[in-house]
With several copies, the nearest count.
Chain A
Amino acid sequence: METISYKVPGFEGPLDLLLHLVQKHKLNIMDIPIAELLEQYMRTIEEWKAINLDIATEFLEMAARLVHIKTAMLLPKHEEAEELRRELSGELMEYKLCQEAARRLAAHNIGENLFVRSPLEIQLDLTYRRTHPTGSILDAYLAAAGRGRRKLPPPAKAFSGIVSRHVVSVSSKIIYVLRRLYRRRDIRYTALFEKAKSRSELIATFLALLELAKACRIRVEGEGDKQVVYMVEGNRRTRNR
């Protein structure tokens, strides 16, 4: 993710853009008109595309999220949509407060104008003289390496785009799909959705499948109800090395 430049001129991220739009169009942050905000948001994204700016994944992810909320609001009973909308309001207010805090803090920044000295060079034997219980080294190792179970960090940040924030349940669905596939090498497409208890679980499962397919870890074949999901063998090794 670090390699992608997400900094579109003037905006720190999708929340910054949303706040800008909310203020510019005098929308009520506590009661966001999603349809209108989505329209303004997409218009901005389109403008950026028109001048060939790289649109970072965060911005697209937010667009998807707004679309999701808008769609959910079309349902006759849309408690879930209300919840998502409130969540977005909360995030925007929080970020607004963060910006205000940053502004107030910046006004106090005098660090540039104070000079300190580096410590006097005294010839000293710097060898560490304290002793520690033998077990403390193991404790530290477990803290760092996560009970000895964490191996190398996830490869290539392949999933970072979907691990963040609201769609986080997608990551659990990725695991869910993979686990089922590890038990059997193939599985009926629809079977993956049978246990889902909510819309968002369905969506998350679907997004998980898309991500896995994109990462070439699974392959989906067949049509209609007969679609089958296959595990792709051996791919991880080549991707990872």
Chain B
Amino acid sequence: MEIKEYQAITEAILFASGEPVEISRLAEVLELDEDTVERLTDDLMNEINTRTGGIKLVRLDKSYQMCTRSEYADYVRRALDIRRNTPLTQAAMEVLAIVAYNQPVTRAFIDQVRGVDCAAVIQGLIAKSLIEEKGRLDLPGRPLLYGTTEDFLRCFGISSLSELPPLPQKDADSDMQETTLDEVIEDSMTQTKGEAPEGTPIMTGTE
């Protein structure tokens, strides 16, 4: 088979799936190794994204997805009668930022950073498919862990978490000084380590 044909099949699959499709799945269907699939899909992406059209391919972690170009959003909305979603609230953005930069995280951790109960906000972000469960922490109570989704990557225009906007590090005027979020969090983790994890089930003390 020719490269062009593999690319055509890939295009058909991405169109039909709608959702992000993993490289491994494409490789299985095309009966090619993943490196080859990656190379030819990157080429396809390049071709589609440089021609004048309404569609583009995005790379999301280990997947590809087909979507519309953002510059035509207003027309698409009008044609399909899509109401604008209410934008993410400040609370939702804060929770999303905590999850994005620290994943996987527990709800207790999110609550602690924000100083308020975030259960409802977390549910909302899960419903919007921006965050999802990522297993459980191996601690008493086995709290759930949350992380961001591929939809999150798409919505924020990045193809992997390494492309998240950098956080302030040595901003001269801020009080942050040289602390990164990770350091601050690390600190607060060690500080609170002695205590029971806050939040859901109330732990017995160790008397």
Bound pair (A, B): yes
B84 and A126 form a contact (CB under 8 A): yes
Query: Quick check: is B199 within 8 A (CB to CB) of the other chain?
Result: yes
Min CB distance, B121 to chain A, in Å?
10
Whether A171 touches B202, Cβ cut-off 8 Å, given contacts A2-B120, A134-B156, is yes
Count, chain B residues at interface, CB 8 A: 90
Contacts A119-B18, A151-B202 hold; do A108 and B158 have CB atoms under 8 A apart?
A: yes
Q: How far is the CA of A172 from the CA of B88 in the complex (A)?
A: 37
A118 is an interface residue with CB less than 8 A from chain B:
yes
Complex CA–CA separation, A99 to B91 (angstroms)? 9
- Kindly state the separation between the CA atoms of A108 and B154 in the bound complex, as whole angstroms: 10
Docked complex: A154-187 residues within 8 A CB-CB of B:
154-155, 159-160, 163-165, 168-169, 171-176, 178-179, 182
In the bound complex, CA of A174 to CA of B16 (Å)? 56
Judged by a CB distance under 8 angstroms, whether B30 is at the interface is: no
Q: Which of A110, A134, A149, A182 makes the CB contact (< 8 A) with B175?
A: A149
Whole-angstrom CA separation of A22 from B160 in the bound complex: 36
Interface string of B1-29 (1 = CB under 8 A from A): 00000000000100111110000000000
Chain B positions within 8 Å of A127 at CB level: 128-129, 151
Q: Which residues of chain A in 92-118 are interfacial with respect to chain B, using CB atoms and an 8 Å cutoff?
A: 93-118
For the complex, give the distance between the alpha carbons of A58 and B119 in Å: 14
Q: Which residue of A lies closest to B71 (CB)?
A: A113
**Closest A residue by C-beta to B196:** A168
- B residues less than 8 Å from A128 (CB atoms): 85, 88, 128-130, 151, 155
A97-B176 contact, Cβ under 8 Å, with A151-B183, A172-B204, A174-B181: yes
CB < 8 Å: which of A58, A136, A145 contacts B202? A145
Residue of A103, A106, A182 with most partner-chain B CB within 10 A: A106
With beta carbons under 8 angstroms apart, the residue of A91, A109, A171 that contacts B196 is: A171
Contact of B162 with A by CB under 8 A: no
CB proximity to A under 8 Å, residues B35-73: 58, 65-68, 70-71, 73
- Which residues of the other chain, B, contact A30 by a CB distance below 8 angstroms? 175
**Selected contact of B181 from candidates A97, A112, A168, CB within 8 Å:** A97
Q: B141 contacts A146, CB within 8 Å?
A: yes
C-alpha gap A104/B154 in the complex (Å): 16
CA distance in complex: A134, B159 (Å): 11
Query: Given A143-B90, A164-B117, A165-B198 in contact, is the A112-B84 Cβ separation under 8 Å?
Result: yes
Q: A113-B73, A115-B73, A119-B80 are in contact. Are A93 and B175 (CB under 8 A)?
A: yes
A141 touches B175 (CB 8 A): no
Q: Are A111 and B154 in contact (CB under 8 A)?
A: yes
The residue of chain A having its C-beta at the shortest distance from the C-beta of B200 within the complex is A153
Task: Please indicate the chain A residues that have their CB under 8 angstroms from the CB of B165 in the complex.
Answer: 104-105, 107-108, 134-135, 137-138
Produce 1/0 per residue, B115-148, CB < 8 A to A. Answer: 1110110000001111000001000011000000
Closest to B20 in A: A116
B207 at the binding interface (Cβ < 8 Å): yes
Nearest CB of A to B55, in Å: 10
CB-CB under 8 A for A12 and B94, given A29-B175, A148-B168? yes
CB–CB A165/B167 < 8 A: no
Q: Is B182 an interface residue (CB 8 A)?
A: yes
Nearest CB on B from A172, distance (A): 3
- Complex interface: chain B residues within 8 A of A144 (CB): 94-95, 97-98, 113-114
Measured in the bound complex, the distance between the Cα atoms of B130 and A39 in whole Å is: 40
Could you list 15 further interchain pairs (A-B, Cβ under 8 angstroms) beyond the known A132-B155, A134-B163, A140-B97? A94-B185, A94-B188, A99-B94, A101-B167, A109-B87, A111-B156, A117-B16, A130-B87, A137-B100, A137-B164, A140-B90, A140-B93, A140-B96, A160-B117, A163-B202
Residues of B within 8 A of A (CB): 12, 15-19, 58, 65-68, 70-71, 73, 76-77, 80-85, 87-88, 90-91, 93-98, 100-101, 111-117, 119-120, 127-130, 136, 141-142, 151, 154-158, 163-165, 167-168, 170, 175-176, 178-189, 191-192, 195-196, 198-207
Binding site for B on A (CB under 8 A): 1-2, 6-7, 12-16, 28-30, 58, 62, 87, 90-91, 93-120, 122, 124, 126-155, 159-160, 163-165, 168-169, 171-176, 178-179, 182, 236, 241
